[in-house]
Amino acid sequence: MTRHDPSFLLLALAALLGSTVVAAQSRPPQQERFDFAYEGEPVASCGDFVMLSDGAGTTHLTTYFGRSGSPERVTLHGVYNGLLTNPLNGKTLADAPSVPFITIDLASGVRTNIGTYWNVTLPGEGVIVIEAGRLVFDGEGPPVFIAGPHLPPPETIALLCEALR
């Protein structure tokens, strides 16, 4: 293959473009992992008792950078297995697994939540609360898009309190 051979020119052009692309790429994503655990964490008041939470999980946080090196997007992927308890009667509910995936566009402020946030089962009865699907927020207010089963927080807490009585 000579320098005037079209194959050589294509290879040289590919090598040149490849090095240009590499030079123009942003820095690699920054990844962090956090393990966490809760024991006896108050969740909500159920009137005559305070619902407590025990559980553990892992969160993976990834920050993506643009060509300038500035952060552009953050993703969070978590897995949590927990137990909700009425400390007065010892009744429990399994909340497992909760598997959220959250993406935040740092320029626009849009946050997209996908996954399962509550997956609570009552022994012998099955799922009593499931919060799953997709929520999109464009700022500090309520979601601008909802897909999947989602209850307002007061309704979710009321269902959980009733199941623990």
pLDDT tens-digit profile of 109-144? 999 999 998 899 887 888 889 999 999 999 888 999
Cα torsion angle, 107, 109, 115, 119, sign: positive
**Strand bridging mode 145-147 / 126-137:** antiparallel
Taking alpha carbons only, the member of 99, 110, 107, 104 closest to residue 144 is 110
And the tokens for 153? 């927080």
Phi, psi of 80, deg, nearest 5: -140, 135
- The pTM score is 0.73
pLDDT at 124: 83
* pLDDT attached to residue 24: 52
**Per-residue pLDDT at 150:** 84
Full strand arrangement of the beta sheet holding 92-105: 30-45, 50-65, 71-85, 92-105, 111-122, 126-137, 145-147
